[in-house]
Amino acid sequence: MDVVTPAPPTGPLAPRLSPDSHLVVAARDLLARHGSATVDGWCHRCEQAYPCPPAIHAAQVCQAAGLDPADEPPASHDLAA
């Protein structure tokens, strides 16, 4: 069996997602909901240790689209559209 080497998460060979794709818009929305912690270090949304798995995975999707996960998502996106 051949060994498959995955693409790197960053750099010129990293896959790029469209910042306007539904996946990226949903990830930014998810990150906005899971993107802050309480004083004691727990996620406000799911009450897991911060950064929680949903926030980590959403941030990785944002990075794959070339976006800074710390930026606020634009208010003009509507997932129902």
Three-state secondary-structure class, residue 72 = coil
- Length of the chain, in residues: 81
Q: What is the pLDDT of residue 22?
A: 96
Q: pLDDT digits over 53-64, tens only?
A: 999 999 999 988
CA distance 71 to 46: 21
- pLDDT beyond 50 at 73: yes
**Which comes out higher in pLDDT, residue 81 or 16?**
16
The model's confidence at residue 81, banded by pLDDT at 50, 70 and 90, is very low
Q: What is the DSSP string of 8-59?
A: PSSSTTS----TTSHHHHHHHHHHHHH--B-TTSBBTTT-SBSSPHHHHHHH
* Cis peptide leading into residue 51 (ω within 30°): yes
- Taking the model in full, what pTM does it have? 0.72
Q: What is the pLDDT of residue 5?
A: 73
